């Protein structure tokens, strides 16, 4: 691996990392040399990811984290920073939830839930991490958005609004944090995960979705993870405020 892509000597916190893309990102970071705090609402799921990382020779710990809870966020970022002498280099805001419904039947509760987790969680965790992010050019905030936040989607106005909000947060983070040499970018992935199970297992929805993907297939989470390694590494030191779709060409 080129030195530009190594994460040795750095620490990372990944939210929603008990499975899917989050687990793949945490695993890839550890393989690149980072000490990783794997967080999830389900601590057992996070611990299972840690077991796989440590079995492969990586350095990781697990923590339960509800990203909407400021106290839990504060405790998690402190734990992550303690993996690296009080410094937290990389924050990945990946935690998410879906509550689909067509707009006429979308309840205020479902709308607020998805906004609270995605937008509120990204805000809460990133703000908690600020005192631990270094000013030496290795500080990274990497958020997870979606094609839904870029072009909209049917049956998930809450999710689309939340993911669009994350784009706005990312660009504002980038402008404000640049003075501290901290970059902020977003990835808009599309992969075969638990969150996309409903689409992938519904014959009609699956066919419609695949027809919109020029590469004609779903990615594996591991294929998505290397993009996060790139954004966290020195190779991306001069990139900030950007949204990178990793979706087989769905958003062109």
Classify residue 205: in a domain, yes or no: yes
Give per-residue burial for 49-63: e unless 16+ CB within 10 Å, then b: bbeebeeeebbbbbb
Q: Is 132 a catalytic residue?
A: no
The whole-number average pLDDT for the span 203-225 is 91
pLDDT at residue 39 above 80?
yes
Query: In the structure encoding, which two tokens stand for residue 21, read together?
Result: 């893309």
Classify residue 250: in a domain, yes or no: no
Classify residue 204: in a domain, yes or no: yes
pLDDT at residue 1 above 60?
no
Q: What is the CATH number of the domain that holds 88?
A: 3.40.50.720
The whole-number average pLDDT for the span 103-116 is 98
- Residue whose structure tokens are 């993911």: 163
Distance, in Å, from the CA atom of 108 to the CA atom of 90, rounded to the nearest integer, reads 33
Classify residue 248: in a domain, yes or no: no
- Annotated catalytic residue within 29, 132, 159, 238: 159
Classify residue 222: in a domain, yes or no: yes
Distance, in Å, from the CA atom of 185 to the CA atom of 145, rounded to the nearest integer, reads 10
Distance, in Å, from the CA atom of 245 to the CA atom of 241, rounded to the nearest integer, reads 13
Question: Residue 241 to residues 220, 222, 231, 236, 244: CA-CA distances in angstroms?
Answer: 26, 24, 11, 12, 10
pLDDT digits (tens, 9 = 90+) for 145-158: 999 999 999 999 99
Distance, first Cα to last Cα, the chain: 30
pTM: 0.96
The whole-number average pLDDT for the span 197-219 is 87
Classify residue 243: in a domain, yes or no: no
Classify residue 247: in a domain, yes or no: no
pLDDT of residue 195: 80
Provide the number of structural domains found in the chain.
1
68 in Cβ contact with 120 (< 8 Å):
yes
pLDDT at residue 107 above 60?
yes
Domain with 156 in it: 3-233
pLDDT of residue 133: 98
Residue 2 banded pLDDT, cuts 50, 70, 90: low
Classify residue 207: in a domain, yes or no: yes
pLDDT of residue 208: 87
């Amino acid at each position: 691996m080129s030195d530009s892509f190594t994460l040795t000597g750095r620490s990372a916190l990944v939210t929603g990392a008990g499975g899917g893309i989050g687990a793949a990102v945490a695993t890839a970071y550890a393989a690149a040399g980072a000490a990783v705090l794997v967080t999830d609402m389900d601590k057992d799921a996070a611990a299972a990811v840690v077991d796989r990382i440590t079995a492969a020779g990586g350095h990781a710990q697990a923590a339960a984290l509800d990203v909407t809870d400021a106290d839990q966020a504060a405790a998690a970022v402190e734990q992550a920073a303690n993996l690296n002498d009080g410094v937290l280099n990389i924050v990945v805001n990946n935690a998410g939830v879906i509550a689909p419904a067509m707009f006429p039947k979308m309840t205020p509760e479902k709308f607020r839930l998805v906004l609270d987790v995605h937008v509120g969680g990204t805000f809460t965790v990133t703000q908690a991490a600020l005192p631990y992010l270094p000013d030496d050019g290795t500080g990274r905030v990497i958020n997870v958005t979606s094609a839904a936040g870029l072009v909209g989607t049917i049956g998930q106005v809450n999710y689309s609004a939340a993911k669009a909000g994350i784009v706005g947060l990312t660009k504002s983070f980038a402008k404000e944090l640049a003075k501290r040499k901290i970059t902020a970018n977003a990835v808009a992935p599309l992969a075969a995960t638990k969150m996309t199970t409903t689409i992938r297992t519904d014959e009609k929805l699956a066919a419609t979705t695949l027809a919109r993907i020029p590469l004609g297939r779903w990615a594996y989470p591991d294929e998505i993870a290397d993009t996060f390694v790139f954004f966290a590494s020195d190779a991306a030191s001069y990139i900030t405020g950007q949204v990178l779709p990793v979706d087989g060409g769905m958003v062109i």
